[in-house]
């Protein structure tokens, strides 16, 4: 008696479960894709910082001063600040990629001789 109507709710529940699983997997995929995009941005900014730091170290022969370096993926600004009456320096590297994302890196050094010694060691490697 009246068994024909029992199949429709079961089919609807199965369709709902399959749709829920598909939506969940789509959400996981989109989150993974967004994480990969963010990681690519971070790596590109780190690349800019490292190249800017290398170029700046090559230019320290002429003394410490602010610089700006341009690369195909963006630019790096270097700001040198004297701290504590000529005893130490703060060197700030600021990378900006073409999308406008910013990443900063700061280095503190005791004095000019210390930085020059580190520069010579890096050049020898």
pLDDT in tens, 43-92: 999 999 999 988 888 887 766 778 899 999 899 999 988 887 767 888 89
pLDDT in tens, 19-33: 999 999 999 999 999
Nearest-CA neighbor of 73 among 30, 34, 103, 108?
103
Statement: residue 99 has pLDDT above 80: yes
Look up residue 13 and give its two tokens.
């529940």
pTM over 0.85: no
Select the more confidently predicted residue: 16 or 55: 16
pLDDT at 71: 92
Range of weakest confidence among 18-22, 70-74, 108-112, 118-122: 118-122
Share of the chain above pLDDT 70, in %: 82
């Amino acid at each position: 008696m009246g068994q024909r109507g029992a199949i429709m709710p079961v089919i609807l529940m199965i369709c709902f479960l399959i749709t829920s699983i598909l939506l969940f997997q789509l959400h996981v995929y989109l989150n993974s894709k967004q994480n990969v995009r963010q990681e690519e941005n971070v790596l590109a900014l780190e690349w800019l910082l490292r190249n800017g730091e290398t170029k700046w170290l090559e230019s320290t022969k002429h003394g410490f001063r602010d610089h700006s370096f341009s690369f195909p993926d963006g630019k790096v600004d270097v700001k040198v600040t004297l701290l504590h009456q000529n005893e130490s320096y703060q060197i700030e590297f600021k990378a900006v990629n073409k999308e406008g994302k910013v990443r900063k890196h700061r280095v503190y050094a005791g004095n000019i001789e210390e930085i020059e010694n580190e520069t010579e060691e890096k050049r020898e490697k």
